[in-house]
Amino acid sequence: MSSTFSGFYVAKSGIQAARANLQVTGQNMTNVNTTGYTRQRVDSYSIAPVGSGMRYASADLEIGGGVNCSGVSQIRDPYLDIRYRSEHAKTGKTGTQLDTLSDIEDIFDESTKDGLSAQFSDLVTQLNSLASSPSDFNLENIVKNSSLLLTKAFNNASQQLSKIRSQQTKSLQNDAITKANNLLKNIAHLNEEIKSSEISGTSALELTDQRNTMIDELSQYANIEVSSKSVDVGSGRSVSELQIDLVSGDQKFSLVSNNQYSQFSMTADEDTGYVTMALNDGDGNAVQAMDADGHAVTDIDGNPVTLTNADLTEGMFGGYLSMLNEKGEFDSATAERGIGYYETVLDKLANDFANTMNTINSTNAGGDNKPLFTTADGETTGITAGNISIADAWNSATSSYITATKQTSTGVDTSKLGDNVLYMVTQLAKDKTYTTNDDNVGGTTLFTTSIESFVSDVSVSVLALQVKDITRQDSTYNSTLNEIDTQRTSISAVDVNEEGINLIMYNQALTASSRFMTTLDEALDTIINKMGIVGR
C-alpha cells in the first residue's frame, strides 16, 4: 500500500514536469523566427509503483509514483532529412549547370545582338556584290574587311568561352570547394562540442541545430549520407558520434567522423582546362573508399581505391565537373554538353569555314596555294576559332587576290566572270552533316546545317534544348525539395498557435498538481491534528 507521504512525491513530480514543459514551450516560442531552430519537447514517463517487479504479488492497491522527466529532445523526422539532402544534391547540380549554360547562351545569342551569324550574313552580301564585279579591288577590300570582322568574331567567341571556363574553375576552387571544406571543418568541431556536452550531461540541442543546418548546406555539394553510432563513455553511459560519408554507388568516402574531417582539393590542366578533384584526410593522405560493410576497397592490383571525378556526379561538384570536363557526343553518348562541347563545335565551324574558302580560292590540285584564312602563325592546318586569321598574302595584297573564276578556255575574257565567288556563296549556304570526326566522315552525327546557319542552329537546336531540359529538371527537383521542406517544417518548426495552446495546457497541469498537493496537505492536517480527539 502507498505510504502516507507518497502522494506528495506524485504532486511534486507533476509540478516539476509542468514547469519543465512550460520552460521548453517558452524556449520554442522565443525561437519562432530563429533560422534552423528545431521544436523541442520534454521527454517524460510515468513512475511505476514502488512494489512493482517484486518476487511475490501483493494484495495491496499499487499506485504509480508520478512522472519523471528524462530530458529534452528535438522533434525531427530523420527520413525527411535524408530525402531533403538527397534532393538538395540534385538541385545543386542543375543550378550550377544552368548558371554556366546561361553564360554560354550570351555568346551564341543572335536575337539581341549581332554575332557570328550576322557577320556571316554580311560576308555573303559582300561576296554577292563582288561576284557582279570581280575585278573591282574596292569591293574585294570590303569582302576582306567583312572577313576580318568575322575572324575577330570567332576569336572573341573563343575568348569568351575560355573566360567562362576560367570563371567556373575559379568558382569551383574559391567558392564551392572552400565553402564545403569550411562546412566539414565546422561540423567536426560541433561534433566534438556536442559530444563533450552529452558526456557532462548538458543538453546540446542548439548546437545540434547548428550542425543540422550545416549538413543541409553541405548536401548541395555532393551526395552524402549521415549516420551515427553509440559509443560507451563509461559508468554505464553512452553518447552518439556522427559520421558523414560521400556516397558513390556501393562505395563510401569518409567526410566527417566525429571530430575528424576530410578536405576537397582540385587541379586544372593548363592546356586542356580539365579539372581533377581529390579528397584527403587530416594528414594529407588520400581518403580510401569503403564498402557497405566498412571494409577498405582496393583495385585488382591491391592498390587503395580513392576518390575520382566519377564519384562526384551529383551536387554542385558534379555540375561544375560536367560543365568543365565533358564534351557531350565528342566524349560519349551519355556525356553532358559542357563548355568543351561548345568550344569544339565552334572550332569545327571555324576550321570547316576556312578549309572550304581556301579550297575554293586555290588554283592548284592541293587546294592550298591561295589561302584566304590561316592560323595567327600563318598555317593552313589546325585552324580554330581562337586562332583563325586573315592570310598574310591576302591581307597585304595590292590587287585582286580572290579567285573570281576558274574558267581556262582560250580566248575567253574572264576578267568579268565571278562564278567562283558565287560558288563560295552557294557552299556557305549548302547544308552538310557534321560529325564528331574532324573530317566529318564517320563518327557520331551532331547535326545537319550550313556554314552560314551553323551558329543559329546550334543556338536554337542544341543549346536552347539543353537549357530547356535542364531547366525542367531543375524545376522538378526544386519543387520536390520545397515540398519536402514544407513537410519538415510542419513537423520541426515552431507553431505559435500550437505553443500558445501548450502554455495553457501546461499551466493548467501546474495548477492541478499544485491543487493536488494542497489537497493532500489539508487531508494530512485532518488526519494528524483532527483525528482521535473525541472525548478530550
Predicted local distance difference test score (pLDDT) of residue 412: 52
- Model confidence at 47, pLDDT cuts 50, 70, 90, reads confident
Percent of the chain clearing pLDDT 90 (strictly above): 70
Residues 332 and 202 in one domain: yes
pLDDT at 231: 86
pLDDT in tens, 218-265: 999 999 999 998 888 777 788 889 999 999 999 999 999 999 999 999
Cα–Cα distance between 511 and 258 in angstroms, integer? 44
Both 115 and 157 in a single domain?
A: yes
Does 484 map to a domain?
no
The pLDDT score that the predictor gives to residue 535 is: 60
Residues 195 and 266 in one domain: yes
Q: Does residue 316 surpass a pLDDT of 90?
A: yes
If you average pLDDT over residues 422-436, what whole number do you get? 93
pLDDT tens by residue, 374-428: 999 999 999 999 999 999 999 999 888 998 888 665 555 555 568 899 999 999 9
Same domain, 343 and 328: no
Q: Is the pLDDT of residue 533 over 80?
A: no
DSSP assignments along 88-135, one per residue: HHHHHHHHHHHHHHHHHHHHH--SSS--HHHHHHHHHHHHHHHHHSTT
Q: What is the pLDDT of residue 413?
A: 52
Tens digit of pLDDT for each residue in 14-40? 999 999 999 999 999 999 999 999 999
Express each pLDDT in 302-315 by its tens digit: 899 999 999 999 99
480 occurs within a structural domain: no
In a domain, 11, yes or no: yes
The answer to whether position 474 is within a domain reads no
The last residue of a domain, from among 284, 315, 336: 336
Say which range, 13-17, 57-61, 364-368, 454-458, has the weakest mean pLDDT.
Answer: 57-61
Task: Decide which of 316, 336, 356 is a domain's last residue.
Answer: 336
- State whether 130 and 180 are in the same domain: no
330, 346: one domain: no
State residue 314's pLDDT score: 95
| pLDDT of 53 above 60 | no
195 and 326 both lie in a single domain: yes
What is the DSSP annotation of 134-194? TT-HHHHHHHHHHHHHHHHHHHHHHHHHHHHHHHHHHIIIIIIIHHHHHHHHHHHHHHHHH
Number of H helices, E strands in the chain: 13, 12
Question: Can you say whether the dihedral through the CA atoms of 176, 177, 178, 184 is positive or negative?
Answer: positive
Q: How confident is the model at residue 468 (pLDDT cuts 50, 70, 90)?
A: very high
pLDDT of 97 reads 97
**Which pLDDT score is estimated for 239?**
86
**381 in a structural domain:** yes
Residue in 310, 340, 311, 308 with CA at minimum distance from that of residue 323: 340
Position 201 scores a pLDDT of: 80
Q: What is the pLDDT of residue 235?
A: 73
pLDDT for residue 6: 81
Collect all residues with Cβ–Cβ distance below 8 Å to 66 and sequence separation of at least 6: 9, 10, 11, 12, 13, 14, 46, 47
Q: What is the dihedral of CA 274, 280, 284, 288, to 10 degrees?
A: -110
The total domain count for the chain is: 3
Q: What is the pLDDT of residue 112?
A: 60
Q: Are residues 359 and 306 in the same domain?
A: no
Do 404 and 443 lie in one domain? The reply is yes
Mean pLDDT within 502-527: 90
SS (H, E, C) 455-502: HHHHHHHHHHHHHHHHHHHHHHHHHHHHHHHHHHHHHHCCCHHHHHHH
Express each pLDDT in 56-89 by its tens digit.
555 566 778 889 888 898 999 999 999 999 999 9
The burial of 240, by beta-carbon neighbours within 10 Å (0-12 exposed, 13-18 middle, 19 or more buried), is given as middle
- Whether residues 198 and 319 fall in one domain: yes
Rounded CA-CA distance 48/405 in Å is 109
Mean pLDDT of all residues belonging to the chain: 90
Q: Quick one: average pLDDT of 339-364?
A: 94
**Co-location of 186 and 319 in the same domain:** yes
Q: Is the residue at 149 inside a domain?
A: yes
Determine the structural domain holding residue 515 and report its residue range. 6-75+494-530
Q: What is the pLDDT of residue 50?
A: 67
Residue 364 falls within a domain, yes or no?
A: yes
- pTM equals 0.89
Does residue 416 lie within any of the structural domains? yes
Of 336, 366, 381, the residue that ends a domain is: 336
H helical segments located in 362-445: 392-395, 419-429
In a shared domain, residues 70 and 143: no
Phi, psi of 184 (to 5 degrees): -60, -45
